[in-house]
Structure 1
């Protein structure tokens, strides 16, 4: 695995945990950190030892408190587009990963941090977590996909309210809105819950799990025909060894042993 300056990777029981390690900056995302996240995720695509991924932040104060304001302050119109597109590309690598990715949100998930969490397939938060897209306070808007993913997750009206006011919401409200899947009491429970969910997912057929992710993403891709994507994926599953194993195990009343093929 590559050497990182702002990211701590750790693999246990097939689960890769990526900890964003800039606690003195509340784990704010600068360009180098975003590139490291993209590299780590893409390296995990073909690593057979990695079955699932957790992304979290160092310390208890913040998952990611936002983008690095010093970098944003120096932007002009020309580089602004490139800045946004680079972040979007990195977060697409998370969203399109065929292996399940969970954001373990401890503390603030604001701006780019909220966008990072939303790019993950699932979100688990501690009770003290706070979510928000406060970019209007800086005279800009979310640029890493936040306008799109927040709307997908909570609906147009609430997304507009949150992005136009810049308000923060609690983990409990985020859960009610569907932004967060689970809320837990503290950081120990956060880790345990993420491992519990991933343990359940990675016990299933890997090809099928990856195709579920692809089909759900197709719902929001204007270039995809979601029902056709589903039918094609279902057909591909029927050709797999995992399909043969899963159906055989069911009929033989035993636990399946999936190989991801």
Structure 2
């Protein structure tokens, strides 16, 4: 599912599950976090195999958790129903936390992480891209936070990164509408850094620079001159705010999975 290839100054990380539009399972998330966390190269290029960048979470995983929740609710007595519901809520929250861990691994990686986005980025795919240092789209790329259309939302850190990257107005529009943005609108809003036919060329451009300077510059720029609300603050304060926001995300995601357990278990979402 996750392939890596190191050459010269670039580690290429490929989300390689094209038959599922590169949707990520638990194992895929863990492998991706490992691939980007401490690479031997100064640049990481993250892209998807086939016609999509990443569809985000594998909804079959979410549906499995939801089915267990719905089955437990139907089959258990009142005395132990709460215990089973809590266990399944924990499973849903844990899946969200694994996605958050990947996004943090991208942000905290000593390497510059360049996302090459060709085709669809949906839900968690958008959130992974937001965590990257540079986002380069092809003219065919499209973006959408579609979870809201079936009773969920992206819980891999998107509620703070989307606002930080796009600004509150555009972030709310994208998150609450579930609409699709093409590459040009993504460029206008700041969701992507550039639109290029060959995103890998941008990774090569970055990799041509001095590795030590790249590492130091990323650490300084990522290190915390801003809090989540855009005010001034030290890096530790920003990290604490990020962690608190992501804990709320995971809890809210688990509640929505429980609320829509029956529909999700059927694969119909909340509609």
For 1:206 and 1:151, the matched residues in 2 are separated by 25
Q: What is the CA–CA distance in structure 2 between the aligned matches of 1:207 and 1:181, rounded to whole Å?
A: 19
Residue 53 of structure 1 contacts residue 100 of structure 1 at CA under 8 Å; is this kept in 2? yes
Corresponding residue to 1:51 among 20, 25, 42:
42
Structure 1 residue aligned with 2:194: 182
Q: Which of 133, 142, 149 is equivalent to 2:154?
A: 142
Distance, in Å, in 2 between the alignment partners of 1:84 and 1:197 is 31
Q: Which moved more, 1:202-211 or 1:74-83?
A: 202-211
Counterpart of 2:220 (choices 206, 212, 220) is 212
What per-residue deviation string (whole Å, max 9, x for no partner) do you get for residues 116-138 of structure 1? Answer: 11111110010000011110112
Residues 32, 207 of structure 1: alpha-carbon distance in 2 compared, 3 angstrom cutoff = closer
Render the CA deviation track for 1:130-151: whole Å, top value 9, x for unaligned. Answer: 0111101120111101111111
Q: Which has the higher contact order (CA 8 A, sep 6+)?
A: 2
Q: 1:40 aligns with which of 27, 35, 38?
A: 35
Deviations, residues 26-69 of structure 1 (Å, cap 9, x unaligned): 1111111110011112242xx3xx1111110012x101022111
Question: What's the offset of the Cα at 1:77?
Answer: 2.4
Instruction: Give the direction of change, closer, same or farther, for the CA distance of 1:177–1:70 in structure 2 (3 Å limit).
Output: same
Structure 1 CA distance for aligned equivalents of residues 5 and 35 of structure 2 = 11
**Counterpart mapping for 1:158-169 below 5 A:** 158-169=170-181
CA contact (8 A) 1:96 1:213 kept: no
SS at match of 2:192: coil
TM-score by length of 1: 0.76
* Matching residue of 1:12: 7
Q: How far off is 1:14 after superposition?
A: 1.5
Counterpart among 201, 214, 217 of residue 192 in structure 1: 201
Residue among 55, 80, 95 paired with 1:65? 55
How many equivalent pairs are there? 214
> Does the 8 Å contact 1:99/1:209 carry over to 2?
no
Match of 2:114 in 1: 102
Aligned counterparts of 2:59 and 2:150: Cα–Cα separation in 1: 9
Runs of 4+ in 1 over 3 A off after TM superposition: 226-229
Residue in structure 1 matching 2:23, options 25, 28, 51 = 28
Aligned mates of 1:175, 1:207 — CA distance in 2? 26
**Aligned-pair Cα RMSD in Å:** 2.3
Instruction: List runs of 5+ in structure 1 lacking aligned partners.
Output: 1-5, 230-261
Q: Distance in 2 between matches of 1:220 and 1:171?
A: 28
Contact 2:38 2:109 in 1 (8 A): no
The unaligned stretches of length 5 or more in structure 2 are: 66-87, 238-271
